Amino acid sequence: MTSQEIVEAVKKALDEEHNPKRNFKQSVDLVVNLKDVDMNNPANRIDEEIFLPRGRGEKAKIGVFATGEMALKAKDVADAVFKPEDIEELAKDTKNAKSIAENYDFFISEAPLMPTVGKALGRFFGPRGKMPRPIPPTADIAAEVEKLRNAIRIRSKDKTTFHCIVGKEDMDAEAIAENIETVLKSVEEKLERGRMNIKSAYVKTTMGSPVRVI
């Protein structure tokens, strides 16, 4: 499919026939179906962090595990900052730990804290693909947070069908289409036979009908 054809598919997914108006701003998702790929082999599974060139439509929610100066700086840029004492409290509160793991898109951790985070919260973060990205205590936390604001993670696990956000319904079709091309290119690069291993791909809003892209 050409770039223009992807734009047309997005426009169709966004029009009223496929996308009845809702009382909330819907996400636009890309659904990818693979073929001829043995997903029982972990090496074939896709788990990628992708930076969308035209953004997500709203910035990713970032949580930071840090101490001292980094924790202070993170307060100005991250959505939440968790200190060592917070990690211990979260480990005791299963409901809150699960909620945080689900409601934040990405986590960053000061590298020395990673063993503590892993031990206390790994059971909540690991299965959701939310283990924090470790950074040195001297790293520029503002730059690290900003880098992830327009990122998404795609995870196939052991399934041949997976989906990811590629924008919001109020974005231009051209911008969403560019994001879709970026995601598909990244997926193709991870597949043994590239595009030949993609059975189909669809674009849809949260509550709307899917429109075929591939």
Residue ranges of the chain that CATH labels 3.40.50.790: 62-148
CATH 3.30.190.20 corresponds to the domain 3-57+151-212 = yes
1: three-class secondary structure by DSSP: coil
Q: What pLDDT, on a 0 to 100 scale, did the predictor assign at position 138?
A: 94
Please name the residue that has the structure tokens 């924790």. 71
| Whether pTM exceeds 0.85 | yes
Residue ranges of the chain that CATH labels 3.30.190.20: 3-57+151-212
Q: What percent of the chain has pLDDT over 90?
A: 96
- On the question of pLDDT at 195 being above 90, the answer is yes
- On the question of pLDDT at 16 being above 90, the answer is no
- CB burial readout 98-130, b (16+ within 10 A) else e: eebbeebbbbbbbeebbeebbebbeebbeeeeb
Give the fold, CATH level 3, of 62-148: Rossmann fold (3.40.50)
